[in-house]
Structure 1
Amino acid sequence: MALAGLAAVLGGCAGDQTGTILAPAAISVPTQAPLTTGRRVADEADHAKLVASFGGEYRAPATLRLLTEITDRLVRASERPEEPYAVTLLDSAVVNAFALPSGRLYVTRGLVALASDSSEVAAVLAHEIAHVTLRHATARTEMALRSQLVSRVVADVLNDPATGAQMESQSKVTLARFSRDQELEADAAGVKTLAGAGFDPFGAARFLTALNRTLALKTGTGSGAEPDMLATHPGTVERITLVTRAARRIGAPGLGVDERARFLAAIDGIAYGDNPGDGMVRGSRFLHPSLGIAFEVPDGIAIENTRNAVLGTTRDGSKRLLFDQVESSAGRSLEDVLKATWNDGIDAGTIENRIVGGRPAVFAVSKGKDWTFRLVAIRVGENTYRMIMAAKGSADPDAAFRRWVDSLSSLDPDEARALKPLHLRVVTASSGETAEQLATRMVAPDRALDRFLVLNGLDRGGAVKSGQGYKLIGE
Structure 2
Amino acid sequence: MRRFLAKAALPLVIVSFIITACVVQQSAITGDRRAYGYSWEQEKQIGRDADQQIQQQYGIYDNDELERYVENIGQEMLSVSHMRREDTPEQYKNTEFYFRVLDSPVVNAFALPGGYVYVTRGLLSHLENEAQLAVVLGHEIGHVAARHASQRAFEQQIGQVALLGGAIAGEELLGIPGGSVLNLGSQAAQLLFLSYGRDDERESDRLGVEYAAMQSYQAAEGADFFVSLERMSRQSGQSIPDWQSTHPDPSERAKTIPQLAESWSQKGYDLRIEGTDQYMSKINDIVYGNNPREGFTRNGLFYHPELKFQFPYPQDWQVINQRSLVAVVNKEQDAVSIMKLDSKSADVQASVNEFLNQEGITTVSKSAATNNELQAYEAVASGQTEEGTQIKFYIYALKHDGTIYRFLNYSTLDKFSNYEPRFKQITSGFKPLRDQSILDIQPVRLQAVKTNRSGTFESFLPENFDGMPIEITANDLAILNQVDLDERIEAGTWIKLPRQ
TM-score (norm 2): 0.59
Partner SS, residue 131 of structure 1: helix
Partner SS, residue 455 of structure 2: coil
Q: Is the 8 A contact 1:87 1:107 kept in 2?
A: no
Per the alignment, residue 159 of structure 1 pairs with none
Matches within 5 A, 1:12-31: 17=10, 31=34
In the alignment, the residues of structure 2 paired with residue 266 and residue 79 of structure 1 have an alpha-carbon distance, to the nearest angstrom, of 28
What's the CA shift string for 1:288-331, capped at 9, x where partnerless? 1214125679889795532x234799xxxxx9996533466657
In the alignment, the residues of structure 2 paired with residue 436 and residue 387 of structure 1 have an alpha-carbon distance, to the nearest angstrom, of 50
Per the alignment, residue 260 of structure 2 pairs with 250
Q: Are positions 1:325 and 2:347 aligned together?
A: no
Per the alignment, residue 270 of structure 1 pairs with 286
Per the alignment, residue 90 of structure 1 pairs with 101
Q: Are positions 1:112 and 2:121 aligned together?
A: no
Per the alignment, residue 171 of structure 1 pairs with none
In the alignment, the residues of structure 1 paired with residue 11 and residue 295 of structure 2 have an alpha-carbon distance, to the nearest angstrom, of 15
Residues 273 and 464 (structure 1), Cα distance of their counterparts in 2 relative to 1, 3 Å cut:
same
What's the CA shift string for 1:187-241, capped at 9, x where partnerless? 4433444445443445444434545666887xxx4122599xxxx95356x4414
Q: Which moved more, 1:325-334 or 1:465-474?
A: 325-334
Q: Pick from 259, 267, 271 the counterpart of residue 275 of structure 2.
A: 259
Per the alignment, residue 238 of structure 2 pairs with 223
Q: Are positions 1:67 and 2:70 aligned together?
A: yes
Per the alignment, residue 325 of structure 2 pairs with 309
Q: Are positions 1:134 and 2:137 aligned together?
A: no
Residues 49 and 336 (structure 1), Cα distance of their counterparts in 2 relative to 1, 3 Å cut:
closer
In the alignment, the residues of structure 2 paired with residue 455 and residue 56 of structure 1 have an alpha-carbon distance, to the nearest angstrom, of 22
Partner SS, residue 454 of structure 1: helix
Per the alignment, residue 103 of structure 1 pairs with 115
Q: Is the 8 A contact 1:276 1:288 kept in 2?
A: yes
Partner SS, residue 159 of structure 2: helix
Per the alignment, residue 438 of structure 1 pairs with 461
Residues 97 and 17 (structure 1), Cα distance of their counterparts in 2 relative to 1, 3 Å cut:
farther
Q: Is the 8 A contact 1:184 1:239 kept in 2?
A: no
Q: Are positions 1:292 and 2:292 aligned together?
A: no
What's the CA shift string for 1:401-424, capped at 9, x where partnerless? 998996775445224322124432
Per the alignment, residue 483 of structure 2 pairs with 458
In the alignment, the residues of structure 2 paired with residue 474 and residue 332 of structure 1 have an alpha-carbon distance, to the nearest angstrom, of 45
**Larger proportion of helix:** 1
Q: Is the 8 A contact 2:205 2:257 kept in 1?
A: no
2:70 alignment partner AA: L
Per the alignment, residue 55 of structure 1 pairs with 59
Per the alignment, residue 137 of structure 2 pairs with 125
TM-score (norm 1): 0.62
What's the CA shift string for 1:137-164, capped at 9, x where partnerless? 4445667897149xxxxxxxxxxxxxxx
* Alpha-carbon offset, residue 101 of structure 1: 3.8
Matches within 5 A, 1:36-55: 36-38=39-41, 51=55, 53-55=57-59
Per the alignment, residue 414 of structure 1 pairs with 436
* Alpha-carbon offset, residue 444 of structure 1: 5.0
**Structure 1 gaps, min length 5:** 1-8, 11-15, 150-174, 314-318, 391-395
In the alignment, the residues of structure 1 paired with residue 216 and residue 15 of structure 2 have an alpha-carbon distance, to the nearest angstrom, of 29
Partner SS, residue 445 of structure 2: strand
Q: Pick from 186, 202, 209 the counterpart of residue 204 of structure 2.
A: 186
Per the alignment, residue 153 of structure 1 pairs with none
RMSD: 5.8
Q: Are positions 1:79 and 2:82 aligned together?
A: yes
* Alpha-carbon offset, residue 438 of structure 1: 1.9
Q: Which moved more, 1:71-80 or 1:130-139?
A: 71-80
Q: Is the 8 A contact 2:35 2:154 kept in 1?
A: no
* Alpha-carbon offset, residue 93 of structure 1: 2.8
Q: Are positions 1:474 and 2:499 aligned together?
A: yes
| Identity among equivalent pairs (%) | 19
Q: Is the 8 A contact 1:281 1:303 kept in 2?
A: no
2:497 alignment partner AA: L
Residues 138 and 304 (structure 1), Cα distance of their counterparts in 2 relative to 1, 3 Å cut:
farther
Q: Is the 8 A contact 1:58 1:89 kept in 2?
A: no
Partner SS, residue 473 of structure 1: strand
**Structure 2 gaps, min length 5:** 1-6, 25-33, 86-92, 162-192, 266-270, 330-334
1:119 alignment partner AA: A
In the alignment, the residues of structure 1 paired with residue 296 and residue 233 of structure 2 have an alpha-carbon distance, to the nearest angstrom, of 15
In the alignment, the residues of structure 1 paired with residue 409 and residue 459 of structure 2 have an alpha-carbon distance, to the nearest angstrom, of 39
1:58 alignment partner AA: D
Q: Is the 8 A contact 2:290 2:443 kept in 1?
A: yes
In the alignment, the residues of structure 1 paired with residue 216 and residue 63 of structure 2 have an alpha-carbon distance, to the nearest angstrom, of 28
In the alignment, the residues of structure 1 paired with residue 127 and residue 345 of structure 2 have an alpha-carbon distance, to the nearest angstrom, of 42
Q: Is the 8 A contact 1:297 1:404 kept in 2?
A: no
* Alpha-carbon offset, residue 40 of structure 1: 5.5
Residues 80 and 46 (structure 1), Cα distance of their counterparts in 2 relative to 1, 3 Å cut:
closer
Q: Is the 8 A contact 1:21 1:50 kept in 2?
A: no
1:207 alignment partner AA: F
In the alignment, the residues of structure 1 paired with residue 223 and residue 424 of structure 2 have an alpha-carbon distance, to the nearest angstrom, of 40
* Alpha-carbon offset, residue 251 of structure 1: 6.0
**Larger proportion of strand:** 2
In the alignment, the residues of structure 2 paired with residue 223 and residue 252 of structure 1 have an alpha-carbon distance, to the nearest angstrom, of 31
In the alignment, the residues of structure 2 paired with residue 413 and residue 50 of structure 1 have an alpha-carbon distance, to the nearest angstrom, of 33
Q: Is the 8 A contact 1:323 1:385 kept in 2?
A: yes
* Alpha-carbon offset, residue 118 of structure 1: 2.0
Per the alignment, residue 199 of structure 1 pairs with 217
* Alpha-carbon offset, residue 45 of structure 1: 9.3
Q: Which moved more, 1:430-439 or 1:42-51?
A: 42-51
In the alignment, the residues of structure 1 paired with residue 301 and residue 393 of structure 2 have an alpha-carbon distance, to the nearest angstrom, of 20
